[in-house]
């Protein structure tokens, strides 16, 4: 069938993608203020504050930080005594500080605006290899790179190069054969103080001889005037003259701030020393040209606690907490996105509060809310509907819930899956909620038959607790006296089809080869349940599908 363009409710579906950067961040006034308080230090040219931002998923941490950094960048343009550089790193796929340092360094090495680093770091690589280098080497390259993110190395050099091209505008222009890099270098290394010249600098012939011989050229073939013909005798004065004539701010008058943002920093786990090394880099003499600081972002509460135990007051670590969105805030965010994403009149206004309510139930996750709108739009398009309606949102929500449950369930190991099948069996027999004690005999039997081994009641209690924490099971208090489990369990969302799919998968970890977890007993019970359902259905003439058994 030839492809033909479909009618679509979308005007700009980009506005519902995960990397879309909104013009305004809604409903986060307090949090934005707290971030701006931290960043204000840089505008005020005062000691930077290190920050740790915590909040559950989708509470707008990343978008708020990025938004405020943009604002700060704009604000900073009004002040020429500060230079501010940010580096953003998502640590999602990194498992140590070593990897984070490599990734950050490579990000800088790949960035055209920092092309000077390739010369200045004097490393043999275009980018650092992902493994193989000693940790100390990686750290020293990384901090060296940070130390070169300065005004002098960027804007100043550019302006100076331009000034040198127009040097004939000076009253007494010197006859120069060197560029901005050499001039800056010379101004810092008077001839009698020079050990070696970096390989990336290019001086006229004879310069190195002059350097080696210091001021005495008697044993060379060069005369001093010959060598100095392309080199200013007093580079410091020439620089000062160029700065004044061409209105260039001297690097001595500029403070360089470098802020490293480590998003999802909990992913680098316990080997997270970078988070502490960056703020201390100046005190530990790892950098001398910049004032470094760090912003760590995480949604892991356990990580937040570990940070608190590792930091002391010398770190000046300010903590900012992002609260969950309420339904109104989610509604505002969704309204903003829906207006951008959908064509005029292509969505029913009711979808916004409905999607907000669903997302609120998911813990106030804005990412979930926006994705719901996107999925609903795609559903409307595929159904050939001009307008996105409430039904599309509900369907999208169910689909997302199924995906979520499938994801967590398929990660369970074989023992946990057997426990899940036992709960399902009891559920089919109307015997839930059920206690650990009551389900243990069936667990023991099925686990023995299917997996050839059983575990203790205590382990089964652990499985139940884990599945409760994953949101697969509901749990109620049912204290049964000393030594008895205090809880009873039942399935949270009863989607037998999905559980069967997970149980039927061939290779869950811990399974003997060639078997699956669908016990004959479970299948029989399910069949009689389905028969019962169809009998009820026939009797009541309802249209419910076999998929929604319960
Ligand atoms: N206040 C807001 N205004 C507009 N868009 C928002 C707002 N909050 C979140 N979003 C959007 O929701 C999505 C998730 O936000 P963000 O990535 O900032 O959350 P997060 O708290 O960093 O989540 P995680 O911890 O999972 O990384 C993004 O697409 C973002 O643009």
What average pLDDT does the segment 394-414 reach? 84
d(CA 25, CA 38): 18
pLDDT score, position 544 = 37
pLDDT score, position 19 = 87
Distance from residue 298's CA to the centre of ligand 1 (Å): 13
d(CA 266, CA 402): 27
Helix or strand holding residue 487 (H, E): strand 487-491
Q: What residues contact 216, with CB distance under 8 A and at least 6 apart?
A: none
pLDDT score, position 48 = 95
Distance from residue 60's CA to the centre of ligand 1 (Å): 3
Distance from residue 126's CA to the centre of ligand 1 (Å): 34
pLDDT score, position 545 = 37
pLDDT score, position 193 = 66
User: Lowest-confidence range among 68-82, 134-148, 199-213, 357-371?
Assistant: 199-213
More confident residue, 468 or 496: 468
Pocket-testing residue among 53, 62, 334, ligand 1, by greatest number of atoms within 8 A of Cβ: 62
> Is 325 marked as a binding-site residue?
yes
| Protein residues whose CB sits closer than 6 Å to any atom of ligand 1 | 18, 22, 25-28, 55, 57-63, 299, 333, 366-367, 370
More confident residue, 251 or 317: 251
Q: Which of 190, 527, 327 is nearest to 535 (CA)?
A: 527
DSSP 23: S
- What residue owns the CA closest to ligand 1's atom 13? 367
Q: How confident is the model at residue 550 (pLDDT cuts 50, 70, 90)?
A: very low
Given a cut of 70, whether residue 536 has pLDDT beyond it is no
Given a cut of 80, whether residue 499 has pLDDT beyond it is no
What average pLDDT does the segment 256-281 reach? 91
Percentage of the residues of the chain whose pLDDT score is greater than 70 = 87
User: Which ligand 1 atom lies nearest to the CA of residue 63?
Assistant: 18
> Is 63 marked as a binding-site residue?
yes
Given a cut of 70, whether residue 238 has pLDDT beyond it is yes
User: Lowest-confidence range among 80-84, 323-327, 543-547?
Assistant: 543-547
* 428-434 contacts, C-beta under 8 A, 24 or more apart: 428/496, 428/522, 428/525, 428/526, 428/529, 429/525, 432/488, 432/489, 432/490, 432/491, 433/474, 433/476, 433/478, 433/488, 433/489, 433/490, 434/488, 434/489, 434/490
Q: What residues contact 9, with CB distance under 8 A and at least 6 apart?
A: 342, 343, 346, 347, 377, 380, 381, 385, 386, 387, 388
Q: How confident is the model at residue 471 (pLDDT cuts 50, 70, 90)?
A: confident
Distance from residue 360's CA to the centre of ligand 1 (Å): 14
pLDDT score, position 486 = 79
pLDDT score, position 243 = 96
Q: What residues contact 202, with CB distance under 8 A and at least 6 apart?
A: 178, 179, 182
148-163 pLDDT, tens digit per residue, is 999 999 999 999 999 9
Distance from residue 235's CA to the centre of ligand 1 (Å): 51
More confident residue, 169 or 221: 169
Distance from residue 18's CA to the centre of ligand 1 (Å): 8
289-327 pLDDT, tens digit per residue, is 999 999 999 988 888 777 767 766 666 689 999 999 999
- Given a contact cutoff of 8 angstroms between Cβ atoms, the answer to whether 370 and 330 are in contact is no
pLDDT score, position 153 = 94
Q: Domains of the chain, with CATH numbers? A: 28-119+254-321 (3.40.50.300), 152-251 (no CATH), 325-384 (1.10.8.60), 411-540 (1.10.10.10)
Percentage of the residues of the chain whose pLDDT score is greater than 90 = 55
- What residue owns the CA closest to ligand 1's atom 24? 57
Q: Which of 423, 425, 420 is nearest to 435 (CA)?
A: 423
Distance from residue 367's CA to the centre of ligand 1 (Å): 6
d(CA 433, CA 478): 10
Given a cut of 50, whether residue 541 has pLDDT beyond it is no
User: What would the DSSP string read from start to end of 436-484?
Assistant: HHHHHHHHHHHHHHHHS----HHHHHHHHHHHHHTTSEEEEE---STTS
Pocket-testing residue among 299, 338, 366, ligand 1, by greatest number of atoms within 8 A of Cβ: 366
32-64 pLDDT, tens digit per residue, is 999 999 999 999 999 999 999 999 999 999 999
Given a cut of 60, whether residue 539 has pLDDT beyond it is no
344-355 pLDDT, tens digit per residue, is 999 999 999 999
- What residue owns the CA closest to ligand 1's atom 27? 57
Q: How far is CA 199 from the centre of its chain?
A: 38
pLDDT score, position 511 = 56
List the structure tokens of 13: 């579906």
Given a cut of 90, whether residue 107 has pLDDT beyond it is yes
- What residue owns the CA closest to ligand 1's atom 18? 60
d(CA 393, CA 358): 9
pLDDT score, position 183 = 93
d(CA 468, CA 489): 8
User: What would the DSSP string read from start to end of 111-157?
Assistant: -GGGTHHHHHTT-S-SS--SSSS-HHHHHHHHHHHHHT-STIIIIIH
Instruction: Please give the mean pLDDT across all residues of the chain.
Output: 86
Given a cut of 50, whether residue 444 has pLDDT beyond it is yes
Helix or strand holding residue 258 (H, E): strand 255-263
pLDDT score, position 529 = 76
Q: How confident is the model at residue 547 (pLDDT cuts 50, 70, 90)?
A: very low
Q: Which of 424, 421, 419, 420 is nearest to 440 (CA)?
A: 419
- Given a contact cutoff of 8 angstroms between Cβ atoms, the answer to whether 289 and 148 are in contact is yes
User: Which ligand 1 atom lies nearest to the CA of residue 263?
Assistant: 27
> Is 487 marked as a binding-site residue?
no
More confident residue, 313 or 369: 369
> Is 59 marked as a binding-site residue?
yes
- What residue owns the CA closest to ligand 1's atom 8? 60
């Amino acid at each position: 069938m030839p492809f033909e363009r479909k009618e679509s409710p979308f005007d700009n579906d980009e506005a519902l993608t995960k990397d879309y950067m909104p013009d305004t961040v809604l409903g986060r006034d307090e949090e934005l203020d707290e971030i701006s308080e931290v960043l204000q230090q840089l505008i005020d040219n005062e000691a930077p504050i290190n920050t740790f931002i915590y909040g559950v998923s989708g509470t707008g941490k990343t978008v708020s930080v990025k938004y405020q950094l943009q604002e700060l960048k704009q604000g900073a343009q009004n002040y020429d005594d500060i230079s501010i550089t940010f580096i953003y790193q998502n640590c999602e796929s990194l498992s140590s500080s070593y990897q984070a340092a490599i990734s950050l360094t490579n990000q800088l090495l790949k960035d055209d605006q920092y092309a000077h680093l390739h010369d200045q770091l004097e490393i043999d690589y275009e980018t650092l290899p992902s493994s193989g280098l000693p940790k100390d080497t990686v750290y020293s390259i990384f901090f060296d790179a940070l130390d070169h993110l300065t005004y002098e190395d960027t804007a100043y050099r550019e302006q100076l190069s331009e000034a040198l091209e127009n040097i004939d505008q000076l009253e007494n222009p010197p006859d120069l054969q060197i560029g901005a890099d050499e001039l800056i270098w010379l101004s810092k290394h008077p001839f009698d103080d020079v050990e070696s010249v970096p390989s990336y600098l290019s001086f006229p012939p004879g310069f190195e001889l002059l350097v080696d011989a210091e001021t005495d050229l008697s044993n060379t073939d060069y005369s001093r005037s010959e060598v100095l013909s392309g080199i200013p005798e007093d580079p410091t004065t020439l620089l000062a003259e160029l700065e004044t004539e061409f209105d260039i701010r001297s690097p001595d008058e500029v403070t360089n701030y470098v802020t490293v943002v480590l998003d999802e920093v909990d992913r680098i786990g316990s080997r997270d020393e970078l988070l502490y090394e960056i703020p201390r880099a100046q005190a530990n003499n790892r950098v001398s040209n910049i004032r470094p600081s760090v912003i760590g972002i995480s949604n892991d509460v356990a990580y937040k606690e570990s940070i608190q135990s590792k930091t002391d007051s010398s770190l000046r670590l300010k903590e900012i907490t992002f609260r969950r969105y309420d339904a109104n805030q989610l509604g505002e965010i969704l309204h903003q996105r829906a207006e951008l994403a959908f064509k005029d009149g292509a969505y029913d206004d009711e979808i916004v509060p409905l999607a907000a309510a669903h997302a609120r139930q998911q813990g106030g996750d804005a990412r979930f809310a926006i994705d719901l709108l996107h999925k609903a739009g795609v559903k409307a398009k595929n159904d050939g509907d001009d307008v996105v309606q409430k039904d599309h949102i509900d369907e999208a929500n169910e689909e997302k819930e199924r995906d979520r449950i499938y994801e967590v369930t398929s990660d369970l190991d074989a023992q946990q899956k057997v426990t899940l099948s036992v709960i399902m069996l009891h559920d089919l027999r109307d015997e839930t909620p059920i206690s650990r004690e009551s389900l243990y005999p069936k667990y023991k039997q099925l686990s023995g038959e299917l997996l050839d081994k059983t575990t203790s009641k205590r382990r089964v209690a652990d499985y139940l607790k884990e599945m409760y924490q994953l949101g697969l099971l509901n749990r109620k208090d049912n204290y049964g006296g000393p030594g008895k489990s205090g809880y009873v369990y039942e399935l949270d969302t009863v989607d037998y089809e999905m559980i069967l799919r997970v149980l039927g998968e061939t290779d869950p970890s811990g399974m003997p080869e060639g078997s699956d977890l669908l016990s004959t007993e479970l299948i029989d019970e399910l069949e009689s349940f389905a028969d019962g359902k169809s009998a009820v259905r026939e009797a009541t003439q309802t249209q419910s599908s076999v998929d929604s058994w319960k």
